[in-house]
Amino acid sequence: MTEDAQNALRRTMETYSKVTRFFFICNYISRIIEPLASRCAKFRFKPLTEEIMSNRILYICKEEGLNLDSEALSTLSSISQGDLRRAITYLQGAARLFGSSISSKDLISVSGVIPEDVVQALFSACRSGNFDMADKEVKNVIAEGYPASQMLSQLYDIIVESDDISDDQKARICKKFAEADKCLVEGADEYLQLLDVASNTMRALNNMPQEYSFGN
């Protein structure tokens, strides 16, 4: 819901609060305006475990006559990040496009998740310290139509989980991720923001001094 729609709903809630109860389901509480959030009791749910996700997905596949191998099941659990609703949506989309036999590749294609080899190529280019190589990989990401915000999310996972990157380097990189994400939300150019992230990540990984950032 847009902010204007939420403000309109606020007046509806105030008028009918004595006879009606409202439930909001969201992934980001920060996107709910304060007048609405302050009127609600907040319940936070943790992501489901892979075991619980797998059991439920297998049950759905059995009932719907879908074939999902172990690799595809693991991929579905991974890309949905513990969100069963999201997993079912991906499964439904893959079934409509590819039929009853669904592979890991099919699920990735409908989820909007960027293939691991594309993410690793950009990360390797940043590690190399070669700006032209990093620029080439960024252009490839944009040309293929992958969302810059999704690339930031997947790069973030790689950076945070890497044991050979120092905490100081991770802090520098993650700060740039946050700045770029904010710019993207505000409508900044995806190519420039992703190139800025790649450049700063390259500098952090190779202990180069920071220079400048692209604004929106």
Query: With bands split at pLDDT 50, 70 and 90, how would you rate the model's confidence at 209?
Result: low
In terms of Cα–Cα distance, which of 107, 173, 119, 106 is closest to 146?
119
Percent of the chain with pLDDT over 90: 39
| CATH number, position 99 | 1.10.8.60
pTM for the full predicted model:
0.63
Residue 97 has pLDDT above 80, yes or no: yes
Q: What's the pLDDT tens digit per position in 114-161?
A: 888 899 999 999 999 899 999 999 999 999 888 898 899 899 989 998
Q: Residue 211: is its pLDDT beyond 60?
A: no
- Taking each helix axis from N to C end, the angle separating 167-185 and 190-205, rounded to the nearest 10 degrees, works out to 170
Assigned domain for 212 exists: no
Is 94 within 8 Å of 107 (Cβ atoms)?
yes
Number of domains in the chain: 3
Pair 69, 105 in one domain: yes
d(CA 110, CA 159): 25
Q: Where are the alpha helices (DSSP H) in 17-69?
A: 34-37, 50-64
pLDDT for 212 beyond 90: no
The half-sphere exposure of 112 on its side-chain side, counting CA atoms within 13 A, is 11
Strands 67-68, 101-102: parallel, antiparallel or unpaired by DSSP?
A: parallel
Domain of residue 31 covers 3-37
